[in-house]
Amino acid sequence: MSRLVIVSNRVPSLRERNQPAGGLAVALKDAVAAHETLWFGWSGRTSAGAAGPPQIAHSRRLTLATVDIPTELFRGYYEGFSNGTLWPLLHWRTGLAEFSRTHFEAYMAVNEQFADALAPLLRPGDLVWVHDYHLIPLGALLRARVERVRLGFFLHIPFPPAPLFETLPQSKRLLEAFGAYQLVGTQTKADARHLSQALRDVGVETQVEGFPIGIDTAGFAAAAEKAATGPEVERLRSSLGGRALILGVDRLDYSKGLPERLRGYAALLRRFPQHRNHVTFLQVAPVSRGEIGRYRALRRELDELAGRINGENAEFDWTPVRYMTRSVARNTLAGFHRIARVGLVTPLRDGMNLVAKEFVAAQDAHNPGALVLSQFAGAAEELDAAILVNPHDPDEIAEAVDSALSMPREERIARWRSMYEIVKRGTARVWAAEFLERLEQTG
């Protein structure tokens, strides 16, 4: 069996090998267990000068190799081009993208340093699987340094239509870099079509396919069932006073549609007064990239919206919105999902959105909640039994939540069963195995 080489911006620590915390580490847990694996990426530290050779750590069949990023390059690479340019652009938000040649040069320089550090560690026959938008050029840089390795790439976030991506001044260079990979994976068929068209427009031929990522369905379902009788969930259940729980769980990011969601909830209370004092909306939104100005502005906007909704609607014994910007343990969140009557997942654009799948996995089969899901989440391509909404319309969100709250149990069960079968079949293990099998089949 070929050695698996995973390359990602961040690398899990060895202590996470049995209980991984990050989303990618969770998704790749089984693939790592099945292969001799080298996982390469950023150490999480910056250095005053050149990064130097990788730092190596071993655990059984897993080797972790990490490098520091020079301080003078980090901001341009990470905050600048990766998250200031590519993140908004790939989420179809050109108006938020910053176009800076200096940032692009830092991005390329870090990818060059990654290639320089990784190339000596590679062996003939390795399966090299590069992950996400931070490292698009890495395959081409490795291809110039090593031979006889298979190179695959997976994009975890959306890819926009070709004309939109072409607004990036360096779009042709990045598209040409995709040509070094023998297989490129995206979350959805629609994203694969967009990327394939963009590649054809610049004369690049490479295989692009949709591989929808999943979760550890059985594990999350078991965690939810156990947590539902635990102390944290019991505290939440008791505090609701018999009211129905509407739950949102997201990173605090402008792609998640959080202001639009709050406006939709406000419209629910205004247009469907029968739900007043009978529902509570809990939004868990851990702060993300809080050092970046637009994220600080988003947090202020959400603070104001939540405060306004509570100020206009609260009773002395009822707070309509509960809004948290600190993290909640994954198993506790699983229990929250299980007792929620409505899962409200309304991103403006998302590669997949595993929260939607986690909500489905967590439900009680005998009395499941209903999922309200943005039509612009990648998960909507699979979970079409959810109540699908356009998140830009607060009235549509309000009507969908009203339908979810009013839905008969029989209909909730039928919708849930349809979605659960999809989530149960398309696990993280299946996703990784299918991608690696296809990569091994490439020439």
Separation of alpha carbons 253 and 238, rounded Å: 30
Give Cβ neighbours of residue 97 (< 8 Å, ≥ 6 apart): 84, 85, 88, 89, 167, 168
Biggest alpha carbon distance in the chain? 69
> For residues 389 and 396, is the Cβ–Cβ distance under 8 A?
yes
Grouping H, G, I as helix, E, B as strand and the rest as coil, residue 101 is: helix
Separation of alpha carbons 199 and 175, rounded Å: 6
Separation of alpha carbons 215 and 427, rounded Å: 5
Other Cβ atoms closer than 10 A to 257: 27
Query: Is 156 considered catalytic here?
Result: yes
131 torsion bin: left (phi>0), alpha (psi -120 to 50), beta (else): beta
Burial 377-391 (b: 16+ CB within 10 A, else e): bbbbbbbebbbbbeb
φ and ψ at residue 297, rounded to 5 degrees: -65, -40
Residue 40 token pair: 């390469």
Exactly one of 156, 194, 275, 337 is catalytic; name it: 156
Query: 196-199 contacts: CB < 8 A, separation 24 or more?
Result: 197/161, 197/162, 198/159, 198/162, 198/165, 198/166, 198/171, 199/175
Instruction: Name the DSSP class of 54.
Output: P
Q: CA of 17: how far to CAs of 21, 24, 94, 222, in Å?
A: 9, 12, 38, 20
49 torsion bin: left (phi>0), alpha (psi -120 to 50), beta (else): beta
What positions carry a catalytic annotation? Answer: 156, 350
